[in-house]
Amino acid sequence: MPSTKSRVHPKYKTKYRVSNWSDYDRALVERGNLTIWLSSDAIGKWNAKPTRRRGGQRKYSDLAIETALTLRLLFKLPLRQVEGFLRSVFDLMGLALDVPDHTTLSRRGKRLKVPLRLSRKLGRIDLVIDSSGLAIFGEGEWAAAKHGGKGVRGWNKLHIGVGGDGVIVGQRLTEASVDDGKVGVGFVDRVLGKIRRVTGDGAYDSRALYDAAISRGAKVVVPPIKTAQTGGRGCRARDQIIRRIRKVGRRQWKQESGYHQQARAENTFMRYKRMLGDRLHSRDADAQAVEARFACNILNRMAELGMPASYAVRM
């Protein structure tokens, strides 16, 4: 008789092949191209326009601060090194532009209002929602570094909503104690475009999520807890899922319902932590929220340059 582990985790592993490797290879190279991130639009609008009000005027536009902080996150540079990096780039390009110093970047970065940038207008999307922790440098680690011993590592939670093409369509940074389900409901309510399906793990199994999705004409693909009973939350769509799982089993339900699309969000977090790191560099809460938004915009820009088109070659 096979063990429980072998039934849950099959011995085979699906292999995939990328069908657009030449295009994807060029996209990977372009991710390191400075002209992609330091655009002509940013250079043209580097200096702030006069406000015609009394008092000191801003020297640098919000776009200049956003560009500098994006480069900081992309290339993992401290603020002082960002200042030197931009100075050298402008010298090589022959641009007579001043560079904001590190204190200006730190101060202005906390108050930037940066939208989540999408490369195109959203159509009908399959929304996948998930969350993951990002470490922050808290008081516990500081005390441990100063006095010795082991500090308590703090962390915040990044929530994202991903479309079927891997583009992040919703994003929010919260404290670690914030409930995933409530943030997921907010994504469903506010995401632009039409939603065809909402997929999430068991943390999103709530009546509020079903109501939000159904009000937008979307199907919910969320596995209920193993002890779930029909009628427990007064939701017909959830009851249908419970009955189907009882009939064919949880594993078969996941295959036929498309629940494995949840991997799109998990892959997005893998890309985030592999390319940008698993921690927030800013210490101020407002600056951390701006940093997380920058990171999501970077990932969306990379997705716009090109993503792999893969297909299964063996089961």
DSSP 3-state of 200: coil
Antiparallel, parallel or unpaired: β 15-18 and 310-314: antiparallel
Find, among 182, 178, 186, 184, the residue nearest to 199 by Cα.
184
Average pLDDT, rounded, for the chain: 86
CA of 88: how far to CAs of 13, 36, 95, 97, 230, in Å?
48, 17, 10, 11, 65
Q: What is residue 122's predicted lDDT score, i.e. its pLDDT? A: 72
The answer to which of 105-109, 125-129, 228-232 has the lowest mean pLDDT is 228-232
Report yes or no: 182 and 204 within 8 Å, Cβ to Cβ. no
Crossing angle for the helix pair 79-93 and 102-109, nearest 10 degrees? 110
Amino acid found at 205:
D
Q: What is residue 2's predicted lDDT score, i.e. its pLDDT? A: 46
Find, among 138, 163, 146, 182, the residue nearest to 288 by Cα.
138
Task: CATH 3.30.420 in the chain: give the residue spans.
Answer: 124-280
174: CB partners within 8 A, 6+ apart: 156, 157, 159, 183
Instruction: Look at the domain 124-280 and name its fold.
Output: Nucleotidyltransferase; domain 5 (3.30.420)
Which is higher by pLDDT, 24 or 297? 297
Amino acid found at 198:
V
pLDDT grade, residue 203 (50/70/90)? very high
CA of 112: how far to CAs of 106, 115, 148, 163, 234, in Å?
11, 10, 37, 26, 43
Q: Is residue 54's pLDDT more than 90?
A: no
Q: What is residue 310's predicted lDDT score, i.e. its pLDDT? A: 78
Which is higher by pLDDT, 243 or 151? 243
Q: What is residue 296's predicted lDDT score, i.e. its pLDDT? A: 96
Q: List, for residues 278-313, the tens digit of each pLDDT value.
A: 999 888 889 999 999 999 999 999 998 988 887 777
Categorise residue 281: left if φ over 0, alpha if ψ from -120 to 50, beta otherwise: alpha
Indicate the Cα dihedral angle 117, 121, 123, 128, nearest 10°.
-10
CA of 39: how far to CAs of 13, 109, 115, 314, in Å?
42, 19, 18, 43
Which is higher by pLDDT, 185 or 138? 185
